[in-house]
Chains A and B, each alone.
Chain A
């Protein structure tokens, strides 16, 4: 962990983080609006995917544009295990994570050996094909209509996690686990190896780090995270369809991570929260009757929002490559 240097700026960070943690823990108790808790759950689920994606992009310099597919595989695999094999969530969840890791390993094995762009394109194709399979293989996936049966909510013994409030804590508990694990990973030997690989692969190879092996490991881990998030989503939403797992999700993820801060675990969560809440706010404002109709039409048009995402990403990558979190970390790596 970082040594506290005692400067006022560092102290400010600690207050900020403690304040955030308090907010995350207490907000669903203070605010019983189900819609708001739903947003909290979705931010938590997306953050898990984003942390894995950021580990891959920000710490290893590898782009995956197929993260939506792993997220989708997680959701569908979990749904099928829970409905067809009537596995409980606690068995379906690890099975799903392992399954996604396996597919990630196979896909990564073919493409991480090459420069960043290759993996990006291979995963992009993988995502597109996954969408096709979801739509075509109707006997298993239910096709365009979505998964036909209701996916059960998890329970611990007699304690059913049936309300939004309970699910919120479940998701954020998982997120906390992923968060701490990833942060420790980055600060460990592996994290330093990744930093070396990102700096210069050849040099990393010379000092005894096998870039391919590390890249493959991280890629697999990011697939596992996505699968976990997918499973959590399936058991929360209880209904899943192809629309949630399209290429658009992979792209949104990239926007979240670049805007939040590449290579920072906090950045993944902050970026996810900012973009998700922004899009929800705009959706809310589009229904706001005080605004003139023309403005509301613009707000309701999803393409404008995505256009703004694209502009944000371009602006951030050119002027603020370390994202929002980078603003608070002047001078630190």
Chain B
């Protein structure tokens, strides 16, 4: 294998990995605020893709406007999701939250199938044009968008959590809900907010991935699996960890698929998951208290 092939695989891996990172961030936020895994995450990713398609084709919005409109809409849906199905069971047990989120995932998946059909829907790349050639490696323009948007989102989130008051509320709540509550933070609102934010981030992942994998169909389940594996690799409780976990999984997948066989490409994530669960269940970058 030449250096060129290696680079080509590396870039493909980072592109896919960036998407996994976004999904993993969605898992991370809700895990930190409720202690449960949100099983509707994959469907929220698909929702982002199909909403963006409707915004651009039916309402003829410019891409940038459609992007933000979708982000907001998905955030609102996340809010409604939390209010209707999570808040009523929040104090039951983790199990109830998980079952409730599975119920929502079924509802979302089938609503999407009914509204947009079961077939894959194509979505044009954000910018048209030939792949950029550098060092003999061809890079699709969409790759730049995916990596750039992920990077931007991570930086913005970091700024939000570190420099705004509400961001600090969220940080305090995810660190210790009881203590945050005692300090006068409205934790109910914070939980609602994490669902909105997570919904928005997942939708973003759905939008950037739509041009390369299409939207709809079985994309949701696969995205949920990949995002979760990324989160486990990085350490579910660390925000920078899950982002790195996504990139690592993306690169691993690209190289293993490149060297061995691409038919079993999607099976790689499971083996990575099992290895991590056995060897290092806390993930590579997990920290217990601070993030």
Contacts and interface: CB of A to CB of B under 8 A. Distances in A.
A110 B110 contact: no
B229 A125 contact: yes
Interface residues of B, number: 47
DSSP majority for the A interface? helix
Contacts of A254: 99, 102
Contact of B267 (A110, A118, A133, A247): A133
Interface bin, chain A: 35 or more
Contact of B37 (A121, A133, A301, A313): A121
B87 to A, nearest CB: 10
Contact of B277 (A111, A309, A321): A111
Given A128-B221, A251-B102, A317 B269 contact: no
A11 interface: no
A313 B109 CA distance: 15
A254 B111 CA distance: 19
Contact of B89 (A126, A255, A317): A317
A304 B110 contact: yes
Interface string A147-191: 000000000000000000000000000000000000000000000
Contact of B269 (A57, A125, A247): A125
Contacts of B264: 132-133, 136
Given A121-B228, A133-B267, A247-B221, A303 B98 contact: no
A309 B103 CA distance: 8
Interface string B74-117: 00000000001100110011111011101111110111011000
A115 interface: yes
Given A118-B37, A128-B222, A301-B114, 13 more contacts: A61-B95, A118-B277, A121-B228, A121-B273, A122-B273, A128-B266, A133-B267, A251-B102, A303-B118, A304-B110, A304-B114, A307-B106, A310-B106
Interface of B: 31, 35-37, 39, 84-85, 88-89, 92-96, 98-100, 102-107, 109-111, 113-114, 118, 221-222, 224-225, 228-229, 232, 263-264, 266-267, 269-270, 273-274, 277-278, 281
B93 A309 contact: no
Contacts of A82: none
Contacts of A306: 106, 109-110
B281 A117 contact: no
10 contacts: A122-B274, A125-B273, A128-B266, A254-B99, A303-B110, A309-B106, A310-B105, A310-B106, A313-B99, A318-B85
